[in-house]
């Protein structure tokens, strides 16, 4: 008897330039790498639908999601947003409220399953050649992004959503030429692979039903 093909889980990736992969080929984007890694781990999941554009802030992503409705329901949703809020000098409290609303929308799109949503932290663009050449205070950039990420982590914990911190690896390797796209700002596929390495075991636990939120 012929074996029926395994149904694929659906995947929606929400974000900005980091999710759309500014400066890299489509298969180098981290959501695409994550989907491949999950398939390699035995989880049947489709390549993601990506709703993301370079430059988007939280409110712009939210508006784009509203414009795209009805988005339906998804088996897995990822979210990475906020760097452009910080770049434009917006207050962390404004980010906190807008991120919380986006996260609630993401959970709703995951059929109200918070355990099927994955959030990545904002990387530190201040360490990149673009950041150094920007004449901005790179320590201030770092501190601001730490505040943004702490706020996002707190919201995720309150909603039982997995949060993966990729800020440290972005700081450790984000100045290396091989880890950057040609613009000297956005990650290359190799740095996205480092993000995927951190996100993959968490995503696998979420889809296997083995993940539990912890402090």
CA distance 10 to 110: 10
CA distance 149 to 86: 11
Given 3.40.50.920, 3.40.50.300, 1.10.3720.10, 3.40.50.1110, which CATH number is that of 11-207? 3.40.50.1110
pLDDT score recorded for residue 209: 73
State the Cα torsion 209-74-201-144 to the nearest 10°. -120
Confidence of residue 7 (pLDDT cuts 50, 70, 90): confident
Percent of the chain with pLDDT over 90: 92
114 secondary structure, DSSP code: G
Q: Is the per-residue pLDDT at 4 higher than 50?
A: no
Confidence of residue 210 (pLDDT cuts 50, 70, 90): low
Identify any residues that bridge with 120 across adjacent strands, giving them in sequence order. 164
Domain locations along the chain: 11-207
180 secondary structure, DSSP code: B
206 secondary structure, DSSP code: H
List all residues 6 or more positions away from 137 whose beta carbon is below 8 Å from its beta carbon: none
187 secondary structure, DSSP code: B
For the question of whether the overall pTM of this predicted structure is more than 0.75, the answer is: yes
Confidence of residue 137 (pLDDT cuts 50, 70, 90): very high
CA distance 180 to 129: 9
Which pairing describes strands 76-80 and 117-120: parallel, antiparallel, or unpaired? parallel
Phi, psi of 196 (to 5 degrees): -60, -40
State the Cα torsion 31-193-122-88 to the nearest 10°. -80
Q: Is the dihedral of CA 108, 214, 80, 195 positive or negative?
A: negative
Q: Is the per-residue pLDDT at 215 higher than 70?
A: no
Q: Is the per-residue pLDDT at 214 higher than 90?
A: no
- CA max distance for the chain: 67
Burial class (CB in 10 A: 0-12, 13-18, 19+), 53: middle
């Amino acid at each position: 008897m012929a074996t029926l093909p395994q149904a694929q889980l659906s995947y929606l990736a929400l974000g900005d330039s980091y999710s759309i992969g500014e400066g890299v080929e489509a298969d180098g984007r981290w959501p695409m790498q994550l989907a491949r890694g999950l398939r390699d781990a035995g989880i049947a999941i489709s390549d993601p639908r990506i709703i993301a554009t370079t430059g988007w802030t939280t409110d712009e992503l939210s508006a784009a999601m509203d414009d795209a409705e009805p988005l339906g329901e998804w088996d897995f949703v990822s979210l990475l947003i906020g760097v452009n809020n910080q770049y434009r000098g917006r207050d962390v409290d404004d980010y906190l409220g807008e991120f919380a609303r986006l996260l609630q929308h993401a959970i709703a799109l995951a059929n109200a399953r918070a355990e099927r949503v994955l959030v990545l932290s904002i990387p530190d663009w201040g360490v990149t050649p673009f950041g150094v050449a920007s004449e901005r205070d790179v320590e201030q950039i770092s501190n601001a992004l730490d505040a943004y990420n702490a706020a996002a982590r707190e919201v995720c914990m309150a909603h039982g959503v997995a949060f993966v911190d990729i800020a440290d690896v972005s700081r450790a390797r984000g100045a290396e030429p091989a880890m950057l796209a040609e613009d000297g700002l956005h990650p290359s596929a190799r740095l996205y692979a480092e993000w995927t390495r951190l996100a993959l075991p968490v995503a696998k636990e979420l889809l296997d039903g083995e993940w539990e939120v912890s402090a």
